[in-house]
Amino acid sequence: MAFLSVSMERISKAQIKLVKSLQQKKHRDETGLFVAEGEKCVEELRKGFELVHYYQAGENATHIEIEQMSGLKTPQGVIGVFRKREEPVREIPDAGGEGQLILALDGIQDPGNLGTIIRTCDWFGVHTIVCSRDTADCYNPKVVQATMGALARGHLYYLDLPEWLAGQQCNIYGTLLEGKDMYDTPLSQKGIIIMGNEGNGISPLIRKAVTHPIRIPSYPKDAETSESLNVSIATAIVLAEFRRKE
């Protein structure tokens, strides 16, 4: 059984209250804990995080208790409470020196977008994600669920993004409308890729750090089309092209 090492204690009212409280960032920050739901998601997260409590309907919790704790419209019968990881800024790899891609997120607000981006990065082998402080919390339950467990392999750092970028000595790619067609642009397999806010794109201050502006062209050229792509979809397209040119 996958969870033999975790206590299967009967649930108490205090524990129900604790799990429900983890829907809010202030309680996640106070306790250092976060919550995930669904057997697959919980199992994947165990590979990168300490599992503190495990509740399963029909085992150590009733279906009603699971519903009381769940943040989902349709509870999946399994809830895991994990300890958050410390991610010191000093441990961020050197993109230029260590030859890897790092994704930088400038003000990504939607939890679903952030979760999908983390999952996409996991698929394309980008495990370092640097976030501006106004980017959504990666331990938000909606983010956690959207990652489908990929959060276990990703390392997210929240910091002063303009200050951090100013100290980087590598190619810094930014997705901008005035950028060069990325399909006609040489792309390095080490450096930083910046993705901007859902509504405003990359902020003016962050744009100053971009050394290689790129864009995803629409087709056919100059045809009337949508104003922009969803940021999580754009991230997938960009990462796929970087890996294709590896």
Domain spans, the chain: 13-83, 89-244
Of the options 3.30.1330.30, 3.40.50.2300, 3.40.1260.10, 3.20.20.140, the CATH number for the domain spanning 13-83? 3.30.1330.30
Is residue 129 classed as helix, strand or coil in its secondary structure? Answer: strand
| Side-chain half-sphere CA neighbours of 51 within 13 A | 24
Question: In whole angstroms, what is the distance from residue 183 CA to residue 11 CA?
Answer: 55
* Residue 203 burial by Cβ neighbours in a 10 Å radius (0-12, 13-18, 19+): middle
Q: Give the class (CATH, top level) of 89-244.
A: alpha beta
* Residue 196 burial by Cβ neighbours in a 10 Å radius (0-12, 13-18, 19+): buried
pLDDT per position as a tens digit, 154-206: 999 999 999 999 999 999 999 998 999 999 999 998 999 999 999 999 999 99
Question: In whole angstroms, what is the distance from residue 111 CA to residue 25 CA?
Answer: 12
- Is this model's pTM higher than 0.85 or not? yes
Which of left, alpha, beta for 222 (phi over 0: left; psi -120 to 50: alpha)? left
More confident residue, 34 or 221: 34
